[in-house]
C-alpha cells in the first residue's frame, strides 16, 4: 500500500507510478482510513512533498493519528518530492514510523516543479515541461530501487535532522493563513474551499475566508483558482504563475 498527500498533483503522480510498477495501490491520506495494516511480503510506501525541509503538517498529523501496523518482513519506504532539497524529510518520516513500531527500510527523493511560487517561478511552460521530463527519469531510477528493495537513505541533497530547529519556526510562521489575500477578480465559485485539504476556508458572502489560523500550506487553493484570484505574500505568486501536474487530477 502506498499512502500519499499531494497538494497539486506531483506526489499523486509519483505514488501512482510506483503503484503501477509494483502491482500495488496508491491511496491519498485524504481518502483512506486511519487503520493501516501491512501484511507479510507487502510494501508500505509514504509519498509526500517537502515543506520547509521537512514532512508537511497534514502528513505529520496523519501519521500521529493513524494506527499503522506492519509485518516485520514488510518493505517500508518513503519518497519526498522537492524543489531545492528534501531536507531532513527521510529521517523525519523514519521517526514518525518508529512510533508505530515500523522500521523504515529506505528513503528516496525526486526533484520536481515546486509549487511554492512565493519563491519558484513556474510561469514558463517549457521550463516546467523539462523539469517534469527530468523528474520522470529520476522516478524511473527510484522505482528500480524500490523493486529491488534497496535500503538506506537515498534522498539527496539531504540535511541533518537538526535542521528542524530552524525549519519548524519558519514553517510555523509561513503557515499563517493571514498571508493569503483574495483579489477582486474572484468569482465566488467556492473551488478553494472545496479543495482545501484541512478545511481552512469557508465561503462568506461569496468570497473565501480563512477561518483557521494556520493551514498545511499546500497552495492548492492558489493553484486551482480559475481566476488566479488567490495570492500569497508579497505578490510574487502572481508573476510566478500557477501549477498542477499535467498528468493527474486532484
Confidence band, pLDDT 50/70/90 cuts, at residue 19: very high
Q: How much helix, strand and coil, in percent to the nearest 5, is found in the chain?
A: 35, 25, 40
Cα distance from N-terminal residue to C-terminal residue, the chain: 19
CATH topology of domain 2-165: Rossmann fold (3.40.50)
CATH among 3.40.50.460, 1.10.357.10, 3.30.70.20, 3.40.50.10860 for 177-240: 3.30.70.20
Q: What is the pLDDT of residues 47-80, one digit of tens each?
A: 999 999 999 999 999 999 999 999 999 999 999 9
Looking at every residue in the chain, the average pLDDT score rounds to: 97
Question: Distance (Å, rounded) from C-alpha 162 to C-alpha 159?
Answer: 8
What cell was used for 179? Answer: 498571508
Residue 86 pLDDT > 90: yes
Contacts of 33 (CB under 8 A, 6+ apart): none
Q: What is the pLDDT of residues 139-176, one digit of tens each?
A: 999 999 999 999 999 999 999 999 999 999 999 999 99
Confidence band, pLDDT 50/70/90 cuts, at residue 249: confident
- In the chain, the percentage of residues whose pLDDT exceeds 70 is 100
Question: Distance (Å, rounded) from C-alpha 246 to C-alpha 250?
Answer: 11
User: Looking at residues 31-36, what average pLDDT do you find?
Assistant: 93
DSSP 8-state class, residue 34: S
Give the three-class secondary structure for 81: strand
User: Looking at residues 35-42, what average pLDDT do you find?
Assistant: 94
User: Looking at residues 121-125, what average pLDDT do you find?
Assistant: 97
Domain ranges of the chain: 2-165, 177-240
- In the chain, the percentage of residues whose pLDDT exceeds 90 is 97
pLDDT value of position 239: 96
**Model pTM score:** 0.96
pLDDT value of position 250: 80
Q: What is the pLDDT of residues 168-218, one digit of tens each?
A: 999 999 999 999 999 999 999 999 999 999 999 999 999 999 999 999 999
Confidence band, pLDDT 50/70/90 cuts, at residue 247: very high
Residue 235 pLDDT > 90: no
Amino acid at each position: 500500500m502506498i499512502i500519499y498527500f499531494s497538494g497539486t498533483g506531483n506526489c499523486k503522480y509519483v505514488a501512482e507510478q510506483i503503484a503501477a510498477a509494483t502491482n500495488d495501490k496508491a491511496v491519498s491520506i485524504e481518502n483512506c482510513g486511519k487503520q493501516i495494516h501491512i501484511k507479510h511480503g507487502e510494501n508500505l510506501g509514504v509519498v509526500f512533498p517537502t515543506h520547509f525541509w521537512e514532512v508537511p503538517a497534514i502528513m505529520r498529523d496523519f501519521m500521529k493519528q493513524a494506527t499503522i501496523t506492519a509485518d516485520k518482513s514488510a518493505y517500508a519506504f518513503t519518497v519526498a518530492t522537492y524543489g531545492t532539497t528534501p531536507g531532513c524529510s527521510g529521517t523525519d518520516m523514519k521517526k514518525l514510523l518508529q512510533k508505530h513500531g515500523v522500521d523504515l527500510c529506505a528513503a528516496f527523493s525526486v526533484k520536481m516543479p515546486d509549487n511554492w511560487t512565493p519563491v519558484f517561478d513556474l510561469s514558463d511552460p517549457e521550463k516546467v515541461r523539462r523539469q517534469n521530463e527530468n523528474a520522470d527519469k529520476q522516478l524511473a531510477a527510484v522505482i528500480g530501487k524500490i523493486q529491488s528493495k534497496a535500503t538506506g537513505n537515498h534522498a539527496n541533497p539531504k540535511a541533518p535532522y537538526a535542521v528542524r530547529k530552524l525549519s519548524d519556526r519558519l514553517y510555523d510562521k509561513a503557515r499563517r493563513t493571514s498571508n493569503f489575500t483574495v483579489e477582486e477578480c474572484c468569482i465566488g465559485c467556492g473551488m478553494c474551499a472545496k479543495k482545501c485539504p484541512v478545511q481552512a476556508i469557508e465561503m462568506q458572502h461569496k468570497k473565501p475566508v480563512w477561518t483557521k489560523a494556520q493551514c498545511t500550506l499546500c497552495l492548492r487553493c492558489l493553484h486551482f483558482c480559475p481566476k488566479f484570484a488567490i495570492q500569497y505574500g508579497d505578490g510574487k505568486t502572481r508573476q510566478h504563475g500557477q501549477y498542477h501536474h499535467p498528468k493527474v487530477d486532484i
